[in-house]
Structure 1
């Protein structure tokens, strides 16, 4: 059964932008270049210095004040931390700090704002960090990366993208995770070709190193392949997801993809694999499984799926679902089981269509009186899709119940619709000939 794209969850898939929490670490490290605090820690590989910068020293008295603010921040006493930093800039103190010291003050301000979830002020503070001249290149690179991430948190996709591209210009060997972040930025801006190119690059980088790409990376690629109608590539990604991150949703999605390819047999097999492992816990998934069985001409299994789901209440007890159950049992030649299912479906329905169908099932089971009652109820209730065929069935039921006048009346009513005119006429002729035969037998007797 081919499922239309409009019905597939992929169209509404939410792809979250992962944000690495910025951490400010002010640590006194004795080196030949004097005291050097570490900048913001972000998830990236070490980058080689691209240029030589003469960075001013961090003086001990400034370090001590930064350490005081750092201790308060680590204790979640952000008010005290901010007061210490304010005092360092107040009353002309700002002019007494060199560029590197100012960068560390703003760096710690940013952490305080970030911890308070005031991302706008955090961005402004980080912008002040990179405005300072002669700060270490690594500090500038890491800060730009964090600014880009915070723009994404604020859903300012264009600013985040521009900042991230600046970061790429400064970085000689960006890690795979950075290309994923770039891909997500393009995705949010609906530039899907660039989004796909970057997530593909990230996945290839990981796989070439013998490393496993993250599940979210594969999912982003899968969505983008589907959007460009590259179903074969989407299937390939889903196979990798099932290999490395087995989950019921991927079996369901793979089944849908096979449906897009009109590969009904493997579509059924993929969904069935999930079902036999008891992974299809949603009623809608189980109903889809039943439809696939019906489409694959396996009505007995379809009926078993629906019956089990309705009994354990994982499938909602609606008229439509009981109708599917009844039709499945009927196609499986299990008329005795089809009848109670269709009775329930008809009772829950607001129109007469299902009573007309129920009448046909009664007719199949040679229960003519019940067939007559059900079809008449359906016709009187209204909403029967083909009243003419319902009246043909009604005529057959009357005929087999030896109510010939009513049978003739039902056939004539059916024949008023040109779609059933020929069949109605044939039934009337057959009935008249049968009645003549019976009279001749009686006369001869």
Structure 2
């Protein structure tokens, strides 16, 4: 509220000069001296002189209202908002001041209530002012929007901030931020996307707006647009944290573009922006798998398995080596998967091992592996088929 101090004093001085003819000469001279004290920030002395002057003007409504208005400005300049509110209300109650002076005072009253803060009273004073105001400024509409935003009355706040935005040539970033926050609160994501599109055009250097726009597109299920905005953010150097980069990786995977996801992860791991952890290596290996880049998948899944000691990763490696018909590695990795444990269905490992043993001519060992797979519901049927096949072949 300190920002209003100069404005209060300016209005006070201009108002008194304009209506000097309505004051008695004695009151005018004393009031001018008080103004000079206030101009020098001597508010204590100014208030003392106002106290001395007040009894002399009580019978003259105009002079009394002018003195109470002066009290209001003096208190407001000292951040004594509640005292300023009382003084302004007392001045307004007389209805003795000119209409435009009273109108300005109502706006000041709304500002004071906002500073307390008492948002309900601020809204009431603001509406009284707005009803009579001939040509409200953009700033006044923004002020009204702030009041109603605090009261969570977004249906009243949003039109006011939009009006404020429409009245200025140069965009005000904090106004757009206010509008955006209210649209988020109302879950009006389509409108939020439109506002963010404007914001990234006005302030392209603000990385948070690019991220927010991508997020809103994702919420709206416009995944391609979300991905495009994220990628553009990366190219501008806005995606610096591992979390942001992994969001982009996941978007590529979600859109069925695993090769780009894997290439991005590999590049950022080499740059040190994505940690070469077991978890990340697993995701990288799986991305290579989906991209059908088997050599890279084997390399990174092997590193992930060694880092995490997870049976499922050894099993996944065994499956990849099955595609390559490297039966020795299939047997080795199936055994590692079983040894490490944690498999949802160990029968899968026994099936892979049995198949590899069969392919290398170790039919008795294969029967033993398939027999173990029989113990698990999900692999029972396939194990039975293999056992029948081997026995029939032997017969």
TM-score > 0.5 by shorter chain: yes
CA shift, 1:318, in A, is: 4.7
Match for residue 174 of structure 1?
A: 136
Q: CA deviation at 1:22?
A: 0.9
Work out the CA distance in 2 between the residues paired with 1:245 and 1:220: 15
Name the CA distance, whole Å, in 2 between partners of 1:199 and 1:89. Answer: 40
- 1:202 Cα shift? 3.2
Residue 30 to residue 303, structure 1, CA distance change in 2 (3 Å): closer
* Aligned match of 1:67: 36
Identify the range of structure 1 (177-186 vs 359-368) with the bigger mean alpha-carbon deviation. 359-368
1:377–1:20 CA distance, 2 compared to 1 (3 A): farther
1:232 maps to what in 2?
190
Q: Which residue of 2 aligns with 1:22?
A: 4
SS in 2 for 1:35: helix
Note the C-alpha offset of 1:104.
2.0
1:273 is paired with a residue whose SS is helix
Contact 1:66 1:105 in 2 (8 A): no
How far off its partner does 1:278 sit? 2.1
Residue 335 in structure 1 maps to residue 301 in structure 2: no
Q: Kindly indicate which of the two structures has a greater share of residues assigned to helix.
A: 2
| Change in 2 beyond 3 A, CA 1:30/1:356 | closer
The 5 A counterparts of 1:229-378 are 229-246=187-204, 247-316=206-275, 318-346=277-305, 349=308, 352-361=311-320, 366=326, 367-368=329-330, 370-378=332-340
Confirm whether residue 157 of structure 1 aligns to residue 115 of structure 2: no
Q: Return 5+ residue gaps in structure 2 as ranges.
A: 58-62
Residue 371 (structure 2) pairs with residue 417 (structure 1) = no
Q: CA deviation at 1:364?
A: 5.2
Q: Which residue of 1 aligns with 2:175?
A: 217
**1:146, CA displacement in angstroms?**
4.1
> SS at the partner of 1:419?
helix
Q: Deviations over 1:254-307 (max 9, x none)?
A: 333333333333332222222222221232221111111112222121012222
Does the aligned pair in 1 maintain the 2:347–2:379 contact within 8 Å? yes
1:363–1:371: 8 Å Cα contact kept in structure 2?
no
Are the counterparts in 1 of residues 54 and 67 from structure 2 also a CA contact under 8 Å? no
Q: How does 1:118-197 map to 2 (within 5 A)?
A: 121-132=80-91, 133=94, 134-135=96-97, 137-197=99-159
C-alpha contact (below 8 Å) 2:314/2:334 kept by paired residues:
no
Superposed displacement of residue 227, structure 1 = 4.8
| Residue 34 (structure 1) shift | 7.0
Deviations 1:124-170 (A, max 9, x none): 32441342243454554444434434544555332322232222133
1:326 deviates by 1.9
Counterpart secondary structure, 2:160:
helix
Give yes or no for contact 1:368–1:398 (8 Å, CA) kept in 2: no
The Cα offsets for residues 332-372 of structure 1, whole Å up to 9 and x where unpaired, read as 23333334533454455486444544554555564335523
Q: Equivalent residue of 2:67, what SS?
A: helix
The offset of 1:309, in angstroms, is 3.1
**How many angstroms apart in 2 are the aligned matches of 1:372 and 1:405?**
17
Secondary structure, counterpart of 1:330 in structure 2: helix
Q: How many residues align?
A: 379
Q: Structure 2 CA distance, aligned partners of 1:392 and 1:196?
A: 63
Question: Is the Cα contact below 8 Å between 2:304 and 2:313 reproduced in 1?
Answer: yes
**1:279, 1:62 → 2: CA distance?**
58
Q: Does the alignment pair 1:200 with 2:182?
A: no
Q: Given the superposition, is the C-alpha separation of residues 130 and 318 from structure 1 closer, same or farther in structure 2, using an over 3 Å criterion?
A: farther
- The match for 2:73 is 107
TM-score scaled to structure 1, two decimals? 0.71
> Structure 2 CA distance, aligned partners of 1:179 and 1:259?
32
Query: For 1:346 and 1:165, how far apart are their aligned partners in 2?
Result: 67
Gaps of 5+ in 1: 1-18, 38-52, 74-80, 114-120, 438-445
Query: 2:60 maps to which residue?
Result: none
